[in-house]
């Protein structure tokens, strides 16, 4: 018998919400029983109400020891596993944070509004490093951004003189494996690799990807523009491209909103699961509205989907396998 599917924790960003409304939450979804529990409802008056996702909602998820770590736009929150709030941290160079990642006792954060990756020491409770990746020479229209257009610059996140606020590449994912940091974004053509001193080139990526990270001998990612979950080799050759769940528009609400504000079938949030040796190719992804799906890369198939809302404004963002019993 196969091992039961795990529970996953999901955050969402509610686009085009109004002040006083909820603008996001945290959900614990049991993929085996399909039970959905709302653990947090994110509602505050201190919000920038402009733009699309903007400052609204909760984003990346990570775990450290017995803590749950959840990113908002410019603040990182620490909870216990019962979602009692313990503490939070900010930084002058943290803005529009998307995905986060824990490696040992270090927390890596994407600071999209500053074209940067920040690193935070969880034991000493302090930011320890920053890396800015910024377009300095914009290519001509139709020409993809390449390394020759970018500037990579380490900086001290605790001092003045760091990067100014700008989003030129839309960094949205970071991970670290075997001492190497992997960085991707909407406008980046490859998965960049940072060894602490130099930046190298990893797997090729199409534009408009989210959640790209190394997996097996290649890379997995949400191809958001194509509404697919993909696995590709290091040269960019697709080995599996699986359609996300497509909602019937007639079953959804708020479909009258502009598509650049809120739309269905927006793929974001992706994690791998290694809990069943008989099914080594399982990855789990999110999509709008309020949807989580299980994919078997080896079979190139979506094998299960759970939807727990029909409002197109609800866009899943962070997604991680729940590590606690």
Dihedral sign from CA coordinates of 316, 318, 319, 325: negative
| Per-residue pLDDT of the chain in tens (325 residues, 90 and over written 9) | 789 999 999 998 876 555 545 557 899 999 999 999 999 987 654 545 444 445 557 899 999 999 999 999 899 999 999 999 999 999 999 999 999 999 999 999 999 999 999 999 999 999 999 999 999 999 999 888 888 999 999 999 999 999 999 999 999 999 999 999 999 999 999 999 999 999 999 999 998 999 999 999 999 999 999 999 999 999 999 999 999 999 999 999 989 877 665 689 999 999 999 999 999 999 999 999 999 999 999 999 999 999 999 988 888 999 999 999 8
| Domain 7-321, classified CATH 2.120.10.80, yes or no | yes
Domain ranges of the chain: 7-321
Cα distance between residue 195 and residue 5, in whole Å: 34
DSSP string, 5-59: P-EEEEEEEETT--TTS--EEEEEEETTT--EEEEEE---S-----SSSTT-S--
Q: What pLDDT does residue 45 have?
A: 47
Q: What pLDDT does residue 278 have?
A: 94
């Amino acid at each position: 018998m196969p091992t039961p599917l795990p529970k996953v924790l999901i955050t969402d960003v509610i686009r085009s919400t109004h002040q006083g409304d909820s603008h996001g939450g945290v959900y614990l979804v049991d993929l085996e029983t399909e039970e959905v529990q709302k653990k947090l409802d994110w509602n505050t008056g201190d919000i920038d109400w402009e733009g699309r996702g903007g400052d609204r909602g909760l984003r990346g998820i990570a775990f450290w020891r017995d803590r749950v770590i959840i990113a908002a736009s410019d603040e990182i929150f620490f909870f216990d596993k019962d979602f009692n709030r313990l503490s939070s941290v900010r930084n002058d160079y943290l803005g529009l944070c998307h995905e986060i990642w824990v490696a040992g006792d270090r927390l890596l954060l994407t600071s999209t509004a500053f074209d940067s990756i920040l690193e935070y020491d969880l034991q000493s409770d302090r930011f320890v490093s920053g890396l800015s990746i910024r377009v300095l020479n914009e290519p001509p229209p139709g020409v993809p951004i390449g390394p020759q257009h970018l500037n990579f610059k380490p900086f001290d996140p605790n001092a003045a003189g760091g990067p100014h606020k700008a989003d030129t590449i839309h960094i949205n994912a970071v991970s670290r494996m075997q001492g190497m940091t992997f960085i991707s974004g909407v406008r980046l053509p490859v998965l960049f690799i940072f060894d602490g001193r130099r930046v190298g080139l990893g797997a090729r990526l199409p534009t408009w990807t989210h959640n790209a990270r190394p997996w097996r001998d290649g890379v997995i990612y949400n191809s958001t523009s194509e509404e697919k979950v993909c696995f590709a080799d290091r040269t960019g050759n697709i080995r599996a491209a699986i359609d996300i769940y497509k909602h019937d528009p007639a079953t959804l609400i708020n479909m009258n909103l502009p598509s650049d504000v809120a739309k269905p079938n927006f793929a974001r949030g992706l994690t791998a699961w290694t809990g069943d040796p008989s099914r080594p190719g399982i990855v789990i992804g999110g999509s709008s509205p309020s949807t989580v799906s299980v994919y078997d890369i080896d079979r190139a198939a979506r094998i299960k989907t759970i939807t727990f809302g029909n409002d197109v404004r609800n866009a899943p963002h962070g997604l991680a396998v729940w590590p606690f019993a």
